[in-house]
Amino acid sequence: MKQTYRETQSGWAKGGRLALIAGVVMVMLVLQACGNNANPAGNSKAAAGNTAEAAGADAAGNVPAVLNFGFIGSNKLNLPGGAEGWGLYKGIIQEELKKHGITEVKLTGFPNGPDQTESLISGRLDFGSLGDTPAIIAYASGAKTRLIAQTSAHTVGYLIGKKDGPKTVKDLQGKTIAIQKGSFMHRYIVGLLQQEGVTGYKLVHMLTPDATAALARGDVDATTNTGVPALKLIDQGYTRLDDASSHPDLLGSSATVVSEEYLKKFPDFPKVWNAAREKALADLKQHEDEYYQFLAEIGDTTPELVKQVSPISDIKDTPFTEGGTKLLEGTKNFLVEEKLAKKDFKISDWQLQ
């Protein structure tokens, strides 16, 4: 078929444009190759930097704005004690967390460790501070948590008898004792009675207010307690049968644990939290009187009493110590032997350092 002049000219135009585009592409490729040969390392670094920035942005974007923190206790300030409580009270920890996209810390107090671990396992909490015994029992039962700090290793449990009741630990043979099942005090009393050769006793699970009321009525022969509440009972005329200060292997410690699910969202959380806590501790040590007044307020007591039961010297300035880890190991072994913990495990596998 014979082409018209317009069709012929159109074909030439299209062909010319294609040739021009091809030429431009070739020039660009040559220039790019020259640039790469001139400074390959520079381009690689730039690419790596861009990738790192993108990864950092992604990580920051995955950190939830709200951090859910659980602790043991209930008070009008809704705060724990220790460096954590002080840091949250003064806003030091919040300021550090804001640098990583966390704009709010929601705090929830729990009556005991087992209740807190339930909330952690269910996802209502991201992390929490509690006694070592419930934390160990939960992990041994399959809770997907990691231990990121042991902020204290000198929790003293008290064994307190009813008025006109038992006078010594051995007098508890065949008696009824109120405890919080699965708590540090559970571990303390079982270990103590075992050491003293006491048998035939009965343990009943009661939260502290119920146990105190039962002790007053004479429904139980003894109960366990810690800190200021224990000293208040003794001041009221109840019998101090024993306390863990004379049994170093039966002392309790604190455990800060975080869920593995939260760590997926914020892998650097342990480092960030511990650094913020250490900053709060440094400030606390500069304001000792104010700190004891803070503890007295949340404990509804006096600074003099809290100095006795919660001295600043008990607060650890590092996430883990050799002595603290040894105490954890001993507690874990005891719980496994007594079948209070379902399975044995290595503390080092649980710790995240």
Phi, psi dihedrals of residue 326, rounded to the nearest 5°? -65, -40
Question: pLDDT tens digits for 65-88?
Answer: 999 999 999 999 999 999 999 999
Residue 221 near residue 161 (C-beta atoms within 8 A): yes
pLDDT of 353: 83
pLDDT of 61: 64
Report the predicted TM-score, pTM, of the whole model to 2 decimal places. 0.80
Which of 1-5, 46-50, 192-196 has the highest average model confidence (pLDDT)?
192-196
What average pLDDT does the chain have? 86
Give the 3-state secondary structure of 21-87: HHHHHHHHHHHHHHHHHHCHHHHHHHHHHHHHHHHHHHHHHHCCCEEEEEEECCCCCCCCCHHHHHH
pLDDT of 49: 36
- Tell me the domain boundaries of the chain: 62-154+252-350, 157-250
Q: Reply yes or no on whether the pLDDT at 35 is more than 80.
A: no
- pLDDT above 90 covers a percentage of the chain that reads 80
Question: pLDDT tens digits for 108-117?
Answer: 999 999 999 9
Q: Reply yes or no on whether the pLDDT at 29 is more than 70.
A: no
Other beta carbons within 10 angstroms of residue 299's beta carbon come to: 19
Q: Reply yes or no on whether the pLDDT at 23 is more than 80.
A: no
Q: At the topology level of CATH, where does 62-154+252-350 sit?
A: D-Maltodextrin-Binding Protein; domain 2 (3.40.190)
Q: Reply yes or no on whether the pLDDT at 219 is more than 80.
A: yes
Cα separation, 224 vs 243, whole angstroms: 9
* Higher pLDDT among residues 54 and 241, named by residue: 241
Superfamily of domain covering 157-250: Periplasmic binding protein-like II (3.40.190.10)
Residue whose C-alpha is closest to residue 245's, from 180, 293, 311, 294: 311
Is-same-fold flag (62-154+252-350; 157-250)?
yes
Who's near 251: CB < 8 A, 6+ residues apart? 153, 154, 155, 156, 244, 245, 327
Mean pLDDT value across residues 277-285: 98
Q: Reply yes or no on whether the pLDDT at 6 is more than 60.
A: no
Mean pLDDT value across residues 212-221: 97
pLDDT of 27: 35
Cα separation, 180 vs 110, whole angstroms: 13
